[in-house]
Structures are given as structure tokens and as C-alpha cells.
Amino acid sequence: MKNKEKKRDFISFADFTRDEICDILLLAARLKKKRTSHVLRGKTVGLIFQKPSTRTAVSFAVGVIQLGGHPLILNADILQIKRGESPRDTGRVLSRYLDAIVIRAHRHDEIMEMAGFADIPVINGLTDLEHPCQVLADLLTIMEYKKFKNPKALKGFRLAYLGDGNNVAHSWMLAAAMFGMKLSLACPKGYEPRADYVGLAQNANTVGGGSISVMADPKLAVQGAEAVYTDVWVSMGQEAESQKRSAIFSPYQLNKSLLSLAKPGALVMHCLPAHRGEEITEEVLEGPNSVVFDQAENRLHVQKAVLTALLTRKRA
């Protein structure tokens, strides 16, 4: 049986201090230059997917291999959790076989329950409430393009988020508060981020100089932004709302006109997959300001850093 007292999880930005996240980002930058290592030699990481995945599944699997470990991809259909076994029992059992668990879960409370009973690190590969690995990759991408040598240089950086106040928006609020960034979220009425996350982010802004603002006007949100971020209007499980959401979200499309209101040279960001012609136009997605595929690549590097930090306690 593994020692539960020594394990840590990465479920939310709230699980780590700013200095710890800085260490992870600096380590990710180094790991990007040196692709392979042996820090996970002899270790097996289970990757559980209750939802479809491209970037999370492939980047984590490749990352584990590049660190010298063994990834075990576990589609939820082959696990008893699909037939009603509790997350707590699944976590207990897998702790006897694996060294860490990455899970893309339907509900945030499932990953919280699993982490609470597992004796090994549990990493959030996406839930309905948060997507921290994605935002780690986003932060690394901004650092690269702005030539920030230290993550603390993110203080005061202005980012506008357009569209649904979803899991990515929640993680962005927590990250922005941690680093003192200026984050403006433009969301239609009734689709704003959850009030508890807004409050948590606003109360967590201890760096000073940062701000978290939620508004309905996308034009106001993007004014002066150094990066403009969007996500799909219809997330997994919301397909029945597709037509309704398309009508409501149409003013929030990231197009050339809206982008022109941002700071010249503003980065265009999207966590992918993108629905071209819906939340973002083809010309903007493929335009000179777009960094979306660098974001996707950086998923690999930040996740390797998270795995290294949790399984070896190696610091930058």
C-alpha cells in the first residue's frame, strides 16, 4: 500500500501556491527543450477517459513515455465504474496497481471523491467545472510569445475570454487571480461563470494589480486585450442545445472585426477542438495572431512537468 500522506493531486489551481505553479511552468519550459528523461522509469500512469479526448489522451500518453514511464489508457467502457462502482472504490483499487491517475470525468465531484480515497496522485484531465492542464499550457504559450523568463511577469497581462463561462473559464479565473492578471470575461446572460468561482477568484487575488471582470459586452471585454481567448459554444453533453446556443452566442464570435478592438498583435487563443465559422472564423483561427496549435503542443510539456512534480517532487 502506498503512503497517502505524501501524495498530492492536481485537480485545480487552488491546490497549489503561485510559487509551485511557477516551478511547474519553468520546469515545463526546460522539458520542452529536453524531450526525454527517465524520472518515471518503472512507473505506470493510468489514463481514465469518461469523455472523448484527442489532446489530453495523446499528450499525457506520450508525456509518460517521454519521461520513461508506462501509460495505461483506460476507456471508461472497460471499467466497472461505468456499471456503478464508486469513484472511491475505483481509486482505492487502482492505487494498488498504478503510480498516478489522470481522469477526464463527467462530474467534478467524481474526481474529488476519487482523489480523496486514492493513495496516489490524481490529475484533472477535464471535468465539468475545471480544466487546469489546459490553462497551464495557455500560460506557457503566453510566456513564450511575450518572452517572459519568469511566470511572475504575467502580472498585469490583459486577456479577454469570449463565450461560455465553462470549465476553461473557471480555471482561467483562478490562474489569473494567482498571477495578478487582468481578465475580462464576456458571456451571454445566463451563461456566466459560476458565482462561487467568481468569488473564489476575486478573493484569491493577493498579488495585487489584477482584476476579474464578468460582463455581457464582447466589444468592451476585448478593448486593449493582449490576448483574446474563445472556446466552443456547445461542450460535450450539450449537443441538444446546439441550435439555441448558436443563436445566443453569435455576437461573441471571435472574428476580424472583434479582434481589431484588441491591442495590435493580440494573441488569438483557443483550447480546441474548434468549430470554424461558429465561435471563431477561419481567417482568425489561421491568421498571423493565432497561437492555438502552440497551445495544443504545450499541453504535452506542462503535463510532463505536473507528472514530474507529483511523482518525484522535483522542483524547478
3-state helix, strand, coil in the chain (%, to 5): 45, 15, 35
Helix axes 167-179, 195-204, angle to 10 degrees: 10
How does residue 309 score in pLDDT terms, banded at 50, 70 and 90?
Answer: very high
CB 272 within 8 A of CB 295: yes
pLDDT above 90: percentage of residues in the chain: 86
Domain 134-295: which CATH class? Answer: alpha beta
Q: Which of 104, 170, 245, 270 is catalytic?
A: 104
Q: Which of 9, 18, 128, 134 is catalytic?
A: 134
Catalytic annotation present for 119: no
Catalytic annotation present for 299: yes
What's this model's pTM, rounded to 2 decimal places?
0.95
| Fold: same for 4-131+299-312 and 134-295 | yes
The CATH homologous superfamily of the domain defined by 4-131+299-312: Aspartate/ornithine carbamoyltransferase (3.40.50.1370)
Residues 87-98 pLDDT 10s: 999 999 999 999
Catalytic annotation present for 22: no
pLDDT at 290 over 50: yes
Reading the block at residue 185, the C-alpha cell is 470575461
Handedness of CA 65, 67, 69, 74 (dihedral sign): negative
What integer pLDDT is reported at residue 314 of this predicted model?
A: 47
Residues 202-252 pLDDT 10s: 887 666 678 999 999 999 999 999 999 999 998 766 778 889 999 999 999
What integer pLDDT is reported at residue 206 of this predicted model?
A: 60
**Sheet with 182-186: strands ordered across:** 211-215, 182-186, 158-162, 227-230, 267-270
Q: Which of 108, 231, 253, 270 is catalytic?
A: 231
Reading the block at residue 236, the C-alpha cell is 460535450
What integer pLDDT is reported at residue 210 of this predicted model?
A: 87
What integer pLDDT is reported at residue 260 of this predicted model?
A: 98
CB 22 within 8 A of CB 151: yes
Catalytic annotation present for 104: yes
Q: Domains of the chain: which residue ranges?
A: 4-131+299-312, 134-295
Average pLDDT of span 184-188: 98
pLDDT above 70: percentage of residues in the chain: 95
Instruction: Please report where in the chains the cell 451571454 appears, as a residue.
Output: 188
More confident residue, 124 or 316: 124
pLDDT at 273 over 90: yes
